[in-house]
Structure 1
Amino acid sequence: MWWFYALLSAFFAALTAIFSKPGVSSVNANLATAIRTIVILLVAWGIVFVKREQQGLTAISRHSLFFLIISGVATGLSWLCYFRALQMGKASQVAAVDKLSVPFVFVLSLLFLNESLNWWACYSLLLVLF
């Protein structure tokens, strides 16, 4: 089922570009990112509380928490750069360049996560690149 959620992620990422472009056209990119972050924060915590998953907070290890925090920093920096790029360029061009994250993840996962090459990963990478 991972591919279903991956496809949904790609679809919502596409909607993000489409909805964000007019949203940032007359708003400072940093302010736009802050507004978007508040919405995401409310939605994410809303889901956690509706599904009664907040009890898991106390079970998070320091190791996991550290990586979740630095992941959040990377996400924030990505969003700030993405919104600034959307202000300056066309959504279709910005989104295409942004998808270079896929080959970056491919290489970094080999180097740092010790993931192995397989035909599915290589095929998927080629689809994104070409």
Structure 2
Amino acid sequence: MKSLVLTWQFWAILSATFAALTAIFGKIGVENVGADFATFIRTIVILAAIAAILVASDQWQSFGSVSPRTYLFLVLSGLATGASWLCYFRALKIGDAARVAPIDKLSVVLVALFGVLFLGEKLSGANWAGVALIAAGAMLVAYRG
């Protein structure tokens, strides 16, 4: 039997847990500081943590081992991540974490759409129903009624 730690589900659940903590800690963290400066501090912490993990796990690679195409898409991904974080922290600064996070998670819906449109991925009827339910659920959680 495959170890739980080797499954994508294990890591996805950890990702969701840490994303939830990001919202809670971030909401508290932006109380007395600008949202962009909060994002800057967060980015420095992430950079230091990832560098430490790479060194400790002996996963550091030479920069020359990465293809130009890979660099292009990692840079684009980094720019998109930075834009997402800036927007997220600005939203947390002015909104409730319990309402901001579900709207942010509409990214799940967009990933499904973009995966189909740009990556040629296929989703079944049940998958599309799940995407619709995620969208509806996010809107309902964010709704102030």
Q: Percent identity?
A: 48
CA distance, structure 1, for counterparts of residue 126 and residue 48 of structure 2: 35
Q: 1:7 aligns with which of 13, 16, 28?
A: 13
Could you tell me which runs of 5 or more consecutive residues in structure 2 were left unpaired when the two chains were aligned.
1-6, 138-145
User: Which structure has the greater CA radius of gyration?
Assistant: 2
Q: CA RMSD in A?
A: 1.6
> Cα–Cα, structure 1 residues 124 and 7, in superposed 2: closer, same or farther, change >3 Å?
farther
Report the Cα distance in structure 2 between the residues aligned to 1:91 and 1:44, rounded to whole angstroms: 26
Residues of 1 paired with 2:62 and 2:12: CA distance? 24
Specify which structure has the bigger relative contact order, considering alpha-carbon pairs within 8 angstroms and separated by 6 or more residues: 1
Mapped to 1, the partners of 2:61 and 2:108 lie a distance apart of 33
Which residue, 43, 48, 56 being the options, matches 2:49?
43
| TM-score under structure 1 length normalisation | 0.92
Q: CA deviation at 1:78?
A: 0.3
Give the match for residue 119 of structure 2.
Answer: 113
After the TM superposition, list the runs of 4 or more consecutive aligned residues in structure 1 that deviate by more than 3 angstroms.
Answer: 118-124
Q: Deviations over 1:106-130 (max 9, x none)?
A: 1001011111113674464355333
Gaps of 5+ in 1: none
TM-score by structure 2 length? 0.83
